[in-house]
Amino acid sequence: MMRLEDISHIGVLGGGVMGGGIAQIMSALAGYRVTVRDLTQEILDDTRDEVTERKWGVKRAVERGKLGFDQAIRAIENVSYTLNLEDLADCDLIIEAVPEQLELKQAVFKELDGVVKPECIFASNTSGFVIKEIARDVSEERKRNFVGMHFSNPVPVMKMLEVITTDESDPEVAETCKAVGEAAGRAVSMVKDKEGTYGFILNRVFAAAAREAKQIVDDGLASPEDVDKAMITGRNWPAAFFGSRGGIGKQW
Ligand SMILES: NC(=O)c1ccc[n+]([C@@H]2O[C@H](COP(=O)([O-])OP(=O)(O)OC[C@H]3O[C@@H](n4cnc5c(N)ncnc54)[C@H](O)[C@@H]3O)[C@@H](O)[C@H]2O)c1
């Protein structure tokens, strides 16, 4: 069972929108060595650029006073980028951020299970698939080491992290993931997964509100603009349902 003090090397599977941000905070804020694996060198070069140079990357964060110089250097020096799955073999925690397709996630975890040391924790950043279904094809031992870690986009800015457990997850593993998240500056909510649902806290609550918003518009009771305006000015939501923006530009 991996405890917080056992975690030193984190793997990130998929260096897209979410994977780059996760690698960035785990190295810059929590000080972990991170290895990102993706499918082409071009994508990996892009991930590196995202972490270092782009809008939410560490250089601009330092310029804006959001990140210390030493933290930025950690993200530049301690993140490796690889095409080889074997480079994740000695990871203590792997966070998967490949596209939102259940079969793909099941397949990549099955493949990882055969390559990575048995005590390594597997976590999926799925937006909403049932974690137990994603874990379907891994070994029984790994199922105890399997949770969801759902981050919010853009990861360097949005502090939310949901740690999702199945009825097979070891509670101590979930605690380790919570502690890792907190080390990376996250505000962690714990939540269980449930068969037949999609989404955990964030996306289920938002989906329910979005359904109501659409219903109000469909019933001809208010315009989309007026629904958005009410939520932005009455609840301080930075953005609402139909594309209107409130203070979203001020979040960083
Ligand atoms: N984008 C968001 O706002 C957001 C927010 C929260 C959660 N998520 C979830 O995070 C996950 C990733 O989303 P994203 O927006 O970062 O997607 P993305 O398409 O930007 O990135 C996915 C990356 O995974 C790579 N990939 C595909 N197969 C792979 C494999 N076998 N091994 C390694 N890499 C592989 C792709 O090449 C791509 O670079 C999804 O499950 C999504 O639902 C997304």
pLDDT score of 252: 54
In percent, the amount of the chain with pLDDT more than 90 equals 93
Residue of minimum CA distance from atom 28 in ligand 1: 98
Residue of minimum CA distance from atom 3 in ligand 1: 153
Q: At what angle do helices 41-52 and 69-77 cross, to 10 degrees?
A: 170
Residues within 6 Å of ligand 1 by CB: 13-19, 37-39, 43, 97-100, 108, 125-127, 151-153
Taking the C-alpha atoms of residue 228 and residue 128, their distance in angstroms, rounded to an integer, is 24
Ligand 1 atom closest to Cα of residue 151: 6
Q: Output the CA 216–ligand 1 centroid distance in Å.
A: 33
Taking the C-alpha atoms of residue 81 and residue 69, their distance in angstroms, rounded to an integer, is 22
Secondary structure in 3-state letters for 132-191: HHHCCCCCHHHHHCEEEEEECCCCCCCCEEEEEECCCCCHHHHHHHHHHHHHCCCEEEEE
Determine contact, residues 7/32, Cβ cutoff 8 Å: yes
pLDDT score of 131: 98
Q: Which of the residues in the chain have pLDDT under 70?
A: 244-252
Domain 4-192 has CATH 3.40.50.720: yes
Q: Output the CA 19–ligand 1 centroid distance in Å.
A: 7
pLDDT score of 246: 56
Q: Output the CA 155–ligand 1 centroid distance in Å.
A: 13
pLDDT score of 238: 84
Q: Which residues are catalytic?
A: 127, 150, 162, 203
Angle at 188 between CA 80 and CA 82, to 5 degrees: 10
Taking the C-alpha atoms of residue 35 and residue 11, their distance in angstroms, rounded to an integer, is 5
Q: Could you state, in order of their start, the residue ranges of all structural domains in the chain? A: 4-192, 202-250
3-state secondary structure (DSSP) of residue 28: helix
Residue of minimum CA distance from atom 15 in ligand 1: 17
Q: Output the CA 101–ligand 1 centroid distance in Å.
A: 9
